[in-house]
Amino acid sequence: MIDEIRRVAEQYPVARSAILPALRIAQERHGGWLPPEAFEEVGEALDLTPAYCKAVASFYDMFHLEPVGRHLVELCTNVSCALVGAQQVLEAFEEELGVRPGETTEDGAVTLRTIECAGGCGWGTVVVVDHRYREPVRAEDVPGIVQELRDAD
């Protein structure tokens, strides 16, 4: 992994600029989240301190500092989606999965998160399932999506 990061870093004038792609690589390698070791590895590869890597990662929403499930369900609760019933969709997910936003189901299958605008305001409510947009999603679509995820396992 360190070599992979260094290869990416070569494309930048300063190695430090490669921190975002490097963290992305590290997150993929560590099962979708960034454990403390990941920061040490990225730090070593780019000649940065682990503290600095963590500071950067904690700033961005799409880096996860807590373990996530095998699937990630992210739901926009920003204005446009809220106007077309994001709250109901969220509640449907909460009921279907039995977790609150930010939590992972007990079997480690699905993590539910709320996010700010994902840029699909014309087709709210936007739900991002494993980095793929589903839009628009209504509360009644939720059981189907959850079933789909359970089947995929």
Residues that bind other proteins in the complex, under the rule CB under 8 A: 36, 39, 48-52, 54-55, 58-59
- Shortest Å distance, C-beta 143 to other proteins: 34
- Shortest Å distance, C-beta 48 to other proteins: 7
Q: Which is nearer to other proteins, 53 or 149 (CB)?
A: 53
- Shortest Å distance, C-beta 25 to other proteins: 19
Q: Which is nearer to other proteins, 13 or 122 (CB)?
A: 13
Confirm if 57 and 65 have CB atoms less than 8 A apart: yes
Dmax over CA atoms of the chain, in Å, equals 50
Any idea which residue has 């921190």 for tokens? 19
- The full DSSP string for 86-147 is HHHHHHHHHHHHT--TT-B-TTS-EEEEEES--S-GGGPSPEEETTEEE-S--GGGHHHHHH
Helix, coil or strand: residue 149: helix
Q: Which is nearer to other proteins, 13 or 59 (CB)?
A: 59
- Shortest Å distance, C-beta 26 to other proteins: 15
Helix, coil or strand: residue 9: helix
Q: Which is nearer to other proteins, 59 or 122 (CB)?
A: 59
